[in-house]
Structure 1
Amino acid sequence: MSLQTEKSSMRFGVNYTPREGWFHSWLDFDPGKVRADLEQIASLGVDHIRVFPLWPLLQPNRSLIRSQAIDDVGTVVQIAHECGLDTTVDVLQGHLSSFDFLPSWVTSWHEVNVFTDEVAVSAESQLILTLGKALRELPGFSGLSLGNEFIQFAAPRHPQSQKITHEQAEKWLETLFSQAQRVAPGMIHTFSHDDDIWFDSKHPFVPGDAVKFGDNITVHSWIFGTVAPHYGKSAVELTWFARYLCELADAWARAYGTAPRPIWLQEVGAPEHWIEREDIPQFVRDTVLNLRGDSNCGLSPNLRAITWWCSHDVNSDLADFPHFEHSLGLFDQHGAVKPVGQAFAAAIREWGNPGPAHSRESQEIELGTHNRQLLNADQDFFANWVRWAREGQVKRIDIKLVED
């Protein structure tokens, strides 16, 4: 099975965070522990995972791609398949839970721009080719992602932002996607991003890139960016944010003429610093079922998959994480399913048949990439959209492109 499913079929999955050692566990890889984790994940009724090998461990030197590390990734894919799970593998890792993972050959004395330096991009391409070649014949392998929110390295707010133009951003995407498609044709290859791509008018990657490149449009829905700080803890608006982002993704695809495109809600989670712990199960249910819709609005357009972040809590012994990262898991650090995990499993069972999609009233807005911040959650457009949604009318968003 692939993430490019029929419209009547919804896929549910989990972003896999190893219970013991977090992603540092790639250093002392233990297939037995992986199997125990994946059996727990499969028990929730999901059908796929997304995994995150660390770039510095895969390619510690520009000309050295470690065969053992590649084999370990393949072993995870094989174990997942035996547990009934398909696997997407992120390549350039990149960024995870506030930590950056860049190999030494692109930092410090060897610092280069990872998007524009031809030697570095050639090495990135080689890693994609090597992983793709090793995984493409494995049952259950779905495809490659260029890396988890990798484009944040070009974001103006990053502490070591790498300056690039939009043209350079697109050239980087074209180069790496061509390699992925060449080495593993027919698979679902994607790139991921936080919501800066939709809302930050100074970001060199633009909404058009999100809807033109890759085989699915990916959406990462995190309420701690703007919507929760603006509306407050446990506000009802928080449960509509994932649906809103998916509607935006579809709207931009129509604006750029690439619709219909499959949409993958690749990350969505329940951070405890913005949701009261006792409210989290209801937040999970409402977030998922708002995506399903009802007879008034139907399924979120072209949505094909929902993948929760994340599988297991970060162990409390690990230091320097933002506090909420230790509680995002569906399972706790001992492997016991939490109320959030039970709620996600229940929402999957409750999904059933969403209301029929039909013509909806539109909420139109004129904008370009230069003023995309008007779509952010602290703006009137979002406030009106949610108000109508709460009244039973989930509006179709129509973007009328204007010249930048």
Structure 2
Amino acid sequence: MVLLIEGRPWLGANFWSRAGGPLMWRQYDPALVRDELQVLREHGMNLTRSFFFWPDFMPAPDRIDPELVRRYADFLDRHHELGMRTIPTFVVGHMSGENWDPAWRRGRDLYADVWMVARQAWYVRELTARFHEHPAVAAWLISNEMPIYGEPSTRDRVTAWAELVVQAVRAGGGTQPVSVGDGAWGIEVTGVDNGFSVRDLAAITDFVGPHVYRMENDIVRQHLTAAFVCELAGTMDRPVVLEEFGVTDNFVSAEHARHYYRQTLHNSLLAGATGWIAWNNTDYDDLYDQDPYRHHAFEMHFGLTDSTGRPKPQLAEVREFASVLDRVDFARCTRAPGQVGLLVPSYLEHAYPFTEDSDRTYLFGVLRQSYVATRAADLPVRLLRERDGIPDGLALYLVPSAKQLTAPAWRLLAEVAQDGATVYVSYSPGGNGVQRGPWYADLNGMFGVEHQLRYGLVDPIEDDEVGVRFLDALGPIAAGATLRFTTGGDEHSRAYLPVRPTSARVLAVDGRDRPVLLERTTGRGRMVLCTYPIEHMAAALPSVNPEPTHAVYDALAVLAGVERPVTVADPLVHAATLSHEDGRRFAWLVSQSPDPLTVRPTVRGGLAGLEDWRPLDELTLPPFGVSVLNLLPDS
């Protein structure tokens, strides 16, 4: 499902006027607001996310400021004049490094205090009743990053609070889509339980809205993290809107800001996002003595325009992205059904008895690095949550650097292999010293080996680089070829699995002739074991991508018969496709190279220019460039 405005997907910016920032409603300037919106509209945007600054809009427990309501009504009218819409956000107590309370709150718990929840519900209902019929309202958001403002709480309290305030939107007459505005930072995405369960909240709302601002140590991971978060959020059977993302000029050059926007927009699109709301519309240099900018000076410079209203390079990037959305008629495009499943263990989102918090957070890094490798191998991947069951019918299942799955999940993986799939599992003892080792239902039987582990001990990887030599050809990997993996991890996780093959065939060995990749055929399929935690090793290292895991995945995809309409040999260029309902298909080529890169894609059918339909065998991508092309039918 795609949330649309007059047939176009949501594309916009979080909005505070440069006259006032969060205090804009105290000094509202209608003409300036119209000018600010006009710039966004001219660059292809059709949406803003706007904010009822709670201390101002609700100065008393039973009162909403009528003058600010009038000003917000004018704000909606300005949107309507320009053919734009907005998403009002109700409980805005946190903003850009500062928390503001209504004076009357007096420290009362926002989730568990019945009177306090009733006041919020009243406030939400009353504002919805005033504005729900206005044509400029696209949707509603309950809060802005409530886990920061209200702080984490228990899952039952948060979900009950959310259900009541969502019901208040409906009681006020709001029929538009509604979501929470929490950032999708819950346990199902991050492995950290803040009470805001993405799963529970998705069940009572209409879309999931990740907020992604990551400090990273690898540029490819940085460019794909928002996409990976969208993939995780997209497993909740709700549209995914990238509700907040952006960069501050304090932390990034103008050129690299444009690169970041380009990569985030296109990669998240390919990851299933169907709406984008950048942070934010403008800079605030004139507000240097006003909180939060006084003490968080970098927050002044997240804008798509500078403090005079002049467009910045990243706004030009948004305009180009909007043009691509229109040219491919994105609202009627879909991703191809993935033939490759990346398994998300239930241990990411569930605290099983006597397990460690780090068992969950470890998984985020491993899964993200595995996702990076699937993109480098141009695999049509989908994320499979163990908690929701492991579907059959895929060609290739990936279980990267796995310490833990439930026993029934291991049985299901053995069954899908028996039925014809290729199941790949790489070993890991985990990231802590608690019950350190493989929690597998039947390691030896599944993989045709006898493990040689010693109780309570790991087998440390001795070398800083592991050379993996292939004994026979595997897909495009020639017999005798060697892949070199840099070793990462700590005293717990930097370890390999010593095994002796029984019914398994050794595909590759390390520099000490120990088995690294083994294959056991079973029924119509196969189980493939990697005895090194190659995804975790990469996840633990800075500036590591591209690294050779993509080559292993590529070879497994060939072995499994995975269909890939477009591939590029260079792992710095990621290829993916979308299909239009009228039969047209489009190819995306996304470069992770800081330099221009010329590539010759391998294509079934052919490629042609998006507008001129000129056939292309070779093309040059600019630094961190994206090319969107027509994918021609097979001859």
Q: Structure 2 length as normaliser, TM-score?
A: 0.55
Query: Which residue matches 1:279?
Result: 256
1:20, 1:315 within 8 Å by CA — same for their partners in 2?
no
**CA displacement at 1:153 relative to structure 2:** 3.3
Alignment of 1:375-390 (within 5 A): 375-376=363-364, 379-390=365-376
1:152 aligns with 2:148: yes
**CA displacement at 1:63 relative to structure 2:** 1.7
1:263 aligns with 2:237: no
Query: Which residue matches 2:91?
Result: 92
Query: Which residue matches 1:323?
Result: 297
- 1:310 aligned partner, one-letter code: N
Runs of 4+ in 1 over 4 A off after TM superposition: none
Distance, in Å, in 2 between the alignment partners of 1:136 and 1:23 is 23
**CA displacement at 1:57 relative to structure 2:** 0.3
Distance, in Å, in 2 between the alignment partners of 1:185 and 1:196 is 26
**CA displacement at 1:287 relative to structure 2:** 1.5
Cα distance per residue 1:319-356 (max 9 Å; x no partner): 42433322211100011001111111112213332675
2:248, 2:303 within 8 Å by CA — same for their partners in 1?
no
1:23, 1:53 within 8 Å by CA — same for their partners in 2?
no
Instruction: Give 5+ residue unaligned stretches, structure 2.
Output: 352-358, 388-404, 407-635
Query: Which residue matches 1:296?
Result: none
Query: Which residue matches 1:241?
Result: 225
Relative to 1, partners in 2 of residues 1:200 and 1:380: Cα closer, same or farther, differing over 3 Å? Answer: closer
Distance, in Å, in 2 between the alignment partners of 1:193 and 1:375 is 22
1:166 aligns with 2:155: yes
Relative to 1, partners in 2 of residues 1:347 and 1:216: Cα closer, same or farther, differing over 3 Å? Answer: same
- 1:45 aligned partner, one-letter code: G
Query: Which residue matches 1:36?
Result: 35
Point out the more displaced range, 387-396 or 238-247.
Answer: 387-396
Among 205, 225, 231, the alignment partner of 1:214 is 205
1:181, 1:189 within 8 Å by CA — same for their partners in 2?
no
Query: Which residue matches 2:266?
Result: 289
Query: Which residue matches 2:555?
Result: none
**CA displacement at 1:32 relative to structure 2:** 1.7
2:341, 2:383 within 8 Å by CA — same for their partners in 1?
yes
Point out the more displaced range, 169-178 or 278-287.
Answer: 278-287
**CA displacement at 1:373 relative to structure 2:** 2.3
**Taking every aligned residue pair, what percent have the same amino acid on both sides?**
19
1:177 aligns with 2:144: no
Distance, in Å, in 1 between the alignment partners of 2:322 and 2:85 is 17
Cα distance per residue 1:180-229 (max 9 Å; x no partner): 012134211111123531215231222213422311111112123xxx2x
- 1:189 aligned partner, one-letter code: V
- 1:151 aligned partner, one-letter code: P
1:5, 1:304 within 8 Å by CA — same for their partners in 2?
no
Q: CA RMSD in A?
A: 2.3
Distance, in Å, in 1 between the alignment partners of 2:71 and 2:141 is 17
Distance, in Å, in 2 between the alignment partners of 1:243 and 1:28 is 38
State the structure with more CA Rg.
2
- 2:335 aligned partner, one-letter code: A
Among 317, 336, 352, the alignment partner of 2:310 is 336
Relative to 1, partners in 2 of residues 1:190 and 1:387: Cα closer, same or farther, differing over 3 Å? Answer: same
- 2:147 aligned partner, one-letter code: I
Distance, in Å, in 1 between the alignment partners of 2:55 and 2:28 is 15
Instruction: Give 5+ residue unaligned stretches, structure 1.
Output: 157-163, 254-258, 294-299
Alignment of 1:28-177 (within 5 A): 28-106=27-105, 110-155=106-151, 164-177=153-166
**CA displacement at 1:154 relative to structure 2:** 4.5
- 1:31 aligned partner, one-letter code: P
Query: Which residue matches 2:321?
Result: 347
More strand, by proportion: 2
Relative to 1, partners in 2 of residues 1:101 and 1:185: Cα closer, same or farther, differing over 3 Å? Answer: same
Among 180, 199, 206, the alignment partner of 2:190 is 199
2:15, 2:280 within 8 Å by CA — same for their partners in 1?
yes
Among 328, 334, 344, the alignment partner of 1:365 is 344
2:16, 2:24 within 8 Å by CA — same for their partners in 1?
no
1:222, 1:268 within 8 Å by CA — same for their partners in 2?
yes
Relative to 1, partners in 2 of residues 1:374 and 1:180: Cα closer, same or farther, differing over 3 Å? Answer: farther
1:307 aligns with 2:281: no
2:88 is paired with a residue of what secondary structure? strand
1:178 is paired with a residue of what secondary structure? helix
Q: Structure 1 length as normaliser, TM-score?
A: 0.85
**CA displacement at 1:5 relative to structure 2:** 3.3
Cα distance per residue 1:64-92 (max 9 Å; x no partner): 21111122212111111111111110011
Distance, in Å, in 2 between the alignment partners of 1:168 and 1:394 is 38
- 1:363 aligned partner, one-letter code: L
2:383 is paired with a residue of what secondary structure? strand
1:398 is paired with a residue of what secondary structure? strand
**May I ask how many residue pairs the two structures share in their alignment?**
368
1:311 is paired with a residue of what secondary structure? coil
